Structure 1
Amino acid sequence: MTSSDQLRAAILLAAAMAEHERQCAERSLRFAERHEGLLDTGSAEQRKLHERMSAINRGSAERHLATRRIHLAHAERLRNWRLDDPLGVEPFMSAMAEIVGAPTALTLVGSSLAQAYASASDGVAEAAQDLELMLSEGPMTDAVRAGEPAVAEVGSRSDAQRWPLYLPALADLGVREVIAVPVGSRWSRLGALAVFGPGHAGAIVRRLGQVADALTQSVLLASDSAGGFPYLTFFSAGSGRSTIHRAVGMLCERMGCGPADALALLRARAFTAGLAVETVASGVVRREITLD
């Protein structure tokens, strides 16, 4: 299959997923309305049950509609994406940034919570994300570890004490505020989603939380009738900056070290061997280089 064929297939998949989410939202709303129509009947306990079921279904409808917006924006980005443009942004993350309203980055982690995959909507988000990998501190790291949102204002003294290395470096990028929310659940932490420089933290946290929930339930964990996970193709090795991050994650789990130490090992081997860091990382991922 050629690159053009793969792109057309991706567009069709995104459009099909958007239509699926629309249908799911309509079904959830019908269920909610059915329970709301029964609120004035039955006992007090039955009314509480109908209220709870109405809230659950309306929450489900919101998530499906949020996911539909992601898929539609992604399909539009794919239609306008130039395959021959090496500087073009990754379409999925560009769509996420449009939904959230600010530069956006996604980090997925392995079982040891080390970064295994990274993708960003633009140069600012990419640089901010890479700072966390290099410095081993920052909002996405904290959001994954704590399982709750991490918010910081660049220039704040209290936040500077929490991330003494990260925030000054972030200021050099022109970012005023950073917000990260966990992706996954309290039982399974899959990663974190962050926005940079948005302002209005309260509104952004809620919107980002909705997007992260939609991303978790309807993209990362969404299976088809055959039990596969079709939308995970957008997080394959051909997208995002996965090679170095996968190598760092593998080294962290194999050697029991932190991301900064793993990255230092990659760079040291690259320097002594006269190779690019990406080349060494590829060797680690293919298990041709162990760095033991």
Structure 2
Amino acid sequence: MDASKLLGLLAGTLAHLDADMPLASRLCRACVEIVGAQSGALTVTTPSGERMVVSTSGGVSEQIEDLQEVLGEGPGQLALDEARVVVTRIDGDTASTFPVFSQMVSSVSGPATVYAVPMRVGQRVVGVLSLYVTTDGLARDLEDLQFLADAVGTSLLGDLESLDWSDRARIHQATGMVTAQLKIPPPDALAVLRAHAFARSSTLQDVADEVLARRMAFTHDDITVDENERTEDS
């Protein structure tokens, strides 16, 4: 579709959404509607490498994004790392590019296709537009998806300061605590948190909150976890 028509379609779709919704939520829902997906998500990143999901449109998108966060892999992460569109069929196939991710997502959503599109502003990738499709395909081609993603990225770039980064801050704080407890580099500490979230079928944020509340402490004893549920009397 012609770029001006796509922008008009985006503007018209946004106009019909609740103006009180955050901009990221309206943009996410508009993209899902325009391309005929079942759900979607927007992830943004900063020059320092901070990455955060700023909106999901419902459906299984939030669960899928949580899985990518815990596993540290998935189509969204690959699209961000390589600045290219990544299309992945989710059907539990162990031969998939992301076998663990594919198996876990298929148990949540059933067969689906994930389109992860980098949002580019100039030469910089500012995030990823992820779309989840359970039907035969999308109403727009990949060129239209890329144009929409870039338009959304440009819109969000001026809105970054208004986004709530508190969840990411808590994960950083928890990573710092694990770094101090185990005396390991921050990337390794984050990997420990992710592994524990995976083992508990939990989210990375939930595990971080447990660490910050001091209900969970990591030791060097075979890198085991000592969970001390504290009571008000302790």
TM above 0.5: yes
Pick aligned residue for 1:111 from 28, 47, 61: 47
Pick aligned residue for 2:148 from 211, 215, 234: 211
Cα distance 1:252–1:143, how it changes in 2: closer, same or farther (>3 A)?
farther
Q: Does 1:257 align with 2:193?
A: no
The one-letter amino acid paired with 2:132 is: F
Helix, strand or coil at the partner of 2:65: helix
CA distance in 2, matches of 1:157, 1:244: 32
The one-letter amino acid paired with 1:128 is: I
The one-letter amino acid paired with 1:66 is: L
Specify the alignment match of 1:101 in structure 2.
Answer: 36
Helix, strand or coil at the partner of 1:200: coil
Q: What is the aligned-residue identity percentage?
A: 21
Specify the alignment match of 1:164 in structure 2.
Answer: 99
Cα distance 1:202–1:138, how it changes in 2: closer, same or farther (>3 A)?
farther
The one-letter amino acid paired with 1:216 is: G
Q: How much has 1:209 moved relative to structure 2?
A: 1.2
**Which structure has the greater CA radius of gyration?**
1
Q: How much has 1:181 moved relative to structure 2?
A: 1.1
Q: Does 1:125 align with 2:57?
A: no
Specify the alignment match of 1:236 in structure 2.
Answer: 162
Helix, strand or coil at the partner of 2:49: coil
Q: How much has 1:73 moved relative to structure 2?
A: 1.5
Contact 2:174 2:211 in 1 (8 A): no
Pick aligned residue for 1:191 from 127, 134, 137: 127
Q: How much has 1:271 moved relative to structure 2?
A: 5.3
Q: How much has 1:148 moved relative to structure 2?
A: 0.6
CA distance in 1, matches of 2:100, 2:94: 13
CA distance in 2, matches of 1:145, 1:195: 18
Q: How much has 1:131 moved relative to structure 2?
A: 1.1
Scaled by the length of structure 2, what TM-score is found?
0.66
Q: How much has 1:154 moved relative to structure 2?
A: 1.6
Cα distance 1:165–1:158, how it changes in 2: closer, same or farther (>3 A)?
closer
Helix, strand or coil at the partner of 2:99: coil
Contact 2:87 2:115 in 1 (8 A): yes
The one-letter amino acid paired with 1:209 is: Q
Report which of the two has the higher share of helix: 1
For residues 68-114 of structure 1, give each alpha carbon's deviation from its aligned partner in whole angstroms, at most 9, with x where no partner exists. Answer: 322322221115x799xxxxx94332222111211111100122434
Cα distance 1:166–1:271, how it changes in 2: closer, same or farther (>3 A)?
farther
- The number of equivalent residue pairs is 193
Q: Which runs of 5+ in 2 are unaligned?
A: 180-184, 195-203, 217-234
Scaled by the length of structure 1, what TM-score is found?
0.54
Q: How much has 1:207 moved relative to structure 2?
A: 2.9
Contact 2:68 2:77 in 1 (8 A): yes
